[in-house]
């Protein structure tokens, strides 16, 4: 499958999820914005845990932040409410509409860009202080170009924060009739090789791709935690389903 066809299908899939109000496309409320304006800046890009406050400057005024593949009206409005200079780039127009809606509702200035996170050529070198990347790298056929572009557009000493699925998510298939998982898939994983329709696009990567890929591009990993990606824990979940890293452009 050609990359341009992959991205068209991914955008279509995400747009459909947004139309059905998947939880990661539900915008923040006015109450959430007011909390930030009153000095309580707290955001999450995983299911439950907030990003550590020490990962951000105490004073966010003028900090240039790129929410990469991070539309949905969640992270970008909170960062803008804290005083940051925010740009959000996403492949899905429907997701970006959520950011535009919150920006207009709350009178926030957010630069909205429709585009592919593998190509940040619209941004000059060393444009941003912080890049925040919610779970999305599993939609691209190669994560390394994303890391390379992030490294390029970050200022020296800048921070790259990303969330990705635990690779174990892709090793197993759940047997509903029996109530247990079976290890049956190899990594790297491609969803369309297991989908009769071939319409759902998702890639399962190794930790070497996610962690080693960042290091290969020149990043130093200085922060890490695990969380549950789907915002809930039940008896079928036996480990944390995602992880978050903080990397510095040294």
Element (H, E) at 54: none
pLDDT of residue 71 exceeding 90, the answer is yes
What domains sit in the chain, N to C, each tagged with a CATH number?
3-165+206-249 (3.40.50.150)
Sign of the CA dihedral with 92 first, then 78, 241, and 48 last: negative
Query: What SS3 class is residue 209?
Result: helix
pLDDT of residue 181 exceeding 60, the answer is yes
Q: What does 129-180 look like in DSSP terms, one character per residue? A: EEEEE-S-GGGSS-SHHHHHHHHHHEEEEEEEEEEEE-GGGGTEEEETTTTE
Element (H, E) at 219: strand 219-227
Name the DSSP letter for residue 99: H
pLDDT of residue 137 exceeding 60, the answer is yes
Rounded to two decimals, the pTM is 0.93
How far apart CA 180 and CA 154 sit, in angstroms, is 43
Residue with the bigger pLDDT between 200 and 80: it is 80
Composition of the chain by helix, strand, coil, percent to 5: 35, 25, 40
Burial label for 194, CB within 10 Å (0-12, 13-18, 19+), is middle
pLDDT given for residue 236 in this prediction: 55
Instruction: Name the phi and psi angles at 26, rounded to 5.
Output: -85, 115
* Mean pLDDT for the stretch of residues 39-43: 96
pLDDT given for residue 176 in this prediction: 81
pLDDT of residue 228 exceeding 90, the answer is no
């Amino acid at each position: 499958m050609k990359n341009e066809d992959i991205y068209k299908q991914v955008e279509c899939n995400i747009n459909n999820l947004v139309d059905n109000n998947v939880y990661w496309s539900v915008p923040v409320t006015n109450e959430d914005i007011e909390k930030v304006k009153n000095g309580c800046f707290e955001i999450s890009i995983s299911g439950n845990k907030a990003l550590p406050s020490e990962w951000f400057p105490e004073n966010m005024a003028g900090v240039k932040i790129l929410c990469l593949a991070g539309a949905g009206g969640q992270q970008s409005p909170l960062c803008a409410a804290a005083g940051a200079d925010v740009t959000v780039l996403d492949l899905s127009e429907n997701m970006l509409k959520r950011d535009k809606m919150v920006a207009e509702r709350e009178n926030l200035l957010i630069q909205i860009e429709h585009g592919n996170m593998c190509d940040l050529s619209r941004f000059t070198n060393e444009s941003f202080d912080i890049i925040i990347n919610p779970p999305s790298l599993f939609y691209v056929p190669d994560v390394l170009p994303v890391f390379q572009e992030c490294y390029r557009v970050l200022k020296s000493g800048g921070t790259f924060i990303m969330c990705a699925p635990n690779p174990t998510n892709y090793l197993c298939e759940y047997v509903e009739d029996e109530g247990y998982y079976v290890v049956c898939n190899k990594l790297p994983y491609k969803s369309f090789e297991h989908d009769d329709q071939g319409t759902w696009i998702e890639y399962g990567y190794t930790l070497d791709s996610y962690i080693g890929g960042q290091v290969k591009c020149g990043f130093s990993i200085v922060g890490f935690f695990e969380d549950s990606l789907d915002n809930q824990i039940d008896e079928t979940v036996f480990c944390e389903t995602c992880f978050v890293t903080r990397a510095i452009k040294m």
